[in-house]
């Protein structure tokens, strides 16, 4: 049967067999997180040896199993209580096993950012995809047309923010001989933001162009509020609310214009999804879809300071599931230590790593110890005193998971990153 993105659908929406087959992958030198003892073994066989954190080298990035599960369940319950759907942004992790966990917990679909990511999702049988971008590549549109025509259960929706982009999409799909129309959301942006029309009137013109294009179907409206503010100040929150109210106004203008089915209204990163619900959840004539993605790992930096489930009173907060591990390799000055993890290993665009503890030793949280800079392969740890001698391994909190996963093709999952001797209980494969 033909699917639309707004339809409720049934089942997990991913090929569980293909995800399970990742346990058969042979481990080797390609996976920098793993020691030579793992080479030649499958993921399944290596995990059967019950490796511990101490068996892995540095630099390293790990996931905490309990925190991941907590975050997935917490967000699923929050969305269910709010009466909104969730299509988490898969580009945060690019990990099919984590997508499956989100879908199994009730997510409506998976959001992605570009065509290569969509191809990864289709390789693992993801059946409902929201592309938070405009797809204009003729070869990519021809491939998409083939996917839609070859799989009547595949639901896909893309964005458009100009009449010219609509024309180019329609032209390429006609040339490809597309059978099923591609669902399109009109994207509304904001001053200083990223893509998206800058006014309701302009967006209405784009919608009219979509309605005229035989290869496209108008499916609703969408946008991203996170590009318009960067903190939880009163001014930032007011800016986000103002944008969301304009998005509602656009939906109202287009009400009834969709060719068939329930319209979609989508917004919501991981910083302001509470405001999205407050402003959009009252829409009874549309399916409201959040696209939050970073929540699954949370962090000890940017999202710790801005997430609704941290700043929101009475809510069960997310927990950081990502930790870096780095070894002190040099103490060239009394108050300077060099660690063996740098920009190639840990994120740095939304804050530097946070020293938390010495493995098997002292806590660093609350001390003067801090990372002042990252080079490609080194971190500059300052003011740790005698707590971080040469050879010591430090646990680091990280900021911004969206630029963490892409640095690792395989991430070890620990049973408890706070344990004295954490055990490796899983390996998460990523595809960037």
3-class SS shares of the chain: helix, strand, coil, % to 5: 35, 20, 45
pLDDT (0 to 100) of residue 261 = 82
Q: Would you say residue 410 has pLDDT above 60?
A: yes
Residue 9 has pLDDT above 60, yes or no: no
Average pLDDT score, the chain = 95
Asked whether residue 79 carries a pLDDT value surpassing 50, the answer given is yes
Answer for the pair 88, 101: CB distance below 8 angstroms, yes or no: no
Pairwise CA distance, residues 189 & 283, whole Å: 20
Cβ neighbors of 14 (< 8 A, separation 6 or more) are 96, 99, 100, 103, 124, 125, 126, 127
- In this prediction, residue 311 has a pLDDT band, given cuts at 50, 70 and 90, of confident
What's the mean pLDDT in 210-237?
94
Q: What does the pLDDT look like over 258-288, one tens digit per residue?
A: 667 899 999 989 999 999 999 998 899 999 9
Please state the pTM of the whole predicted model.
Answer: 0.95
Q: How far apart, in whole angstroms, are the C-alpha atoms of residue 68 and residue 85? A: 20
Whether pLDDT at 39 is above 60:
yes
CA distance 369 to 356: 9
pLDDT of residue 315: 65
Q: What is the pLDDT of residue 10?
A: 46
Residue 310: pLDDT band (50, 70, 90) is confident
Residue 413 structure tokens = 């999952």
- Least confident residue range of 10-14, 69-73, 91-95, 379-383: 10-14
Helix (H, G, I), strand (E, B) or coil at 101: helix
Overall average pLDDT of the 364-372 stretch: 96
CATH number of 65-297: 3.20.20.10
What is the per-residue pLDDT for 47? 98
| Residues whose CB falls within 8 Å of the CB of residue 58, separated by 6 or more in sequence, listed in order | 325, 326, 327, 340, 341, 393
Q: What is the pLDDT of residue 314?
A: 58
Distance in angstroms (rounded) separating the CA atoms of residues 183 and 213: 11
């Amino acid at each position: 049967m033909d699917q639309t993105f707004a339809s409720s659908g049934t089942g997990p929406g991913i090929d569980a067999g293909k995800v399970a087959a990742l346990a058969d992958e042979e481990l080797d030198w390609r996976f920098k997180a793993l020691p030579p003892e793992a080479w030649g073994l499958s993921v399944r066989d290596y995990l059967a040896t019950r490796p511990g954190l101490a068996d892995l080298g540095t630099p390293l990035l790990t996931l905490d199993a309990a925190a991941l599960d907590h975050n997935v369940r917490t967000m699923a319950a929050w969305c269910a209580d709010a009466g909104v759907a969730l299509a988490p942004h898969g580009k945060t992790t690019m990990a099919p096993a984590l997508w499956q966990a989100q879908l199994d917990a009730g997510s409506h679909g998976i959001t992605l950012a570009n065509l290569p990511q969509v191809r990864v999702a289709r390789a693992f049988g993801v059946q409902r995809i929201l592309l938070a971008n405009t797809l204009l590549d003729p070869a990519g549109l021809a491939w998409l047309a083939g996917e839609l025509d070859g799989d009547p259960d595949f639901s896909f929706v893309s964005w458009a923010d100009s009449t010219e982009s609509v024309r180019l999409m329609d032209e390429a799909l006609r040339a490809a001989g597309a059978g099923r129309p591609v669902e399109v959301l009109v994207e509304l942006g904001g001053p200083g933001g990223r893509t998206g029309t800058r006014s309701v009137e302009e967006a209405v013109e784009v919608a009219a162009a979509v309605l005229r294009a035989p290869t496209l179907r108008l499916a609703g409206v969408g946008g991203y509020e996170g590009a318009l503010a960067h903190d939880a100040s009163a001014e930032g929150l007011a800016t986000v609310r103002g944008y969301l109210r304009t998005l509602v106004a656009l939906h109202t203008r287009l009400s009834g214009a969709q060719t068939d089915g329930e319209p979609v209204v989508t917004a919501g990163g991981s910083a302001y999804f509470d405001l999205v619900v407050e402003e959009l959840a009252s829409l009874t004539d549309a399916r409201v879809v959040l696209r939050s993605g970073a929540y699954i790992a949370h962090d000890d930096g940017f999202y710790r300071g801005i997430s609704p489930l941290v700043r929101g009173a009475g809510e069960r907060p997310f927990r950081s599931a990502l930790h870096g591990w780095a070894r002190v390799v040099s103490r060239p000055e009394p108050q300077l230590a060099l660690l063996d993890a740098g920009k190639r290993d840990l994120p740095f665009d939304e804050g530097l790593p946070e020293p938390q503890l010495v493995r098997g030793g002292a806590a660093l949280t609350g001390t003067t110890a801090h990372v002042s800079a990252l080079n490609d392969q080194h971190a500059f740890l300052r003011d740790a005193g005698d707590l971080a001698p040469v050879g010591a391994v430090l646990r680091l909190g990280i900021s911004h998971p969206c630029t963490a996963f892409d640095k690792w093709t395989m991430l070890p999952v620990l049973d408890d990153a706070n344990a004295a001797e954490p055990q490796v209980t899983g390996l998460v494969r990523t595809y960037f």
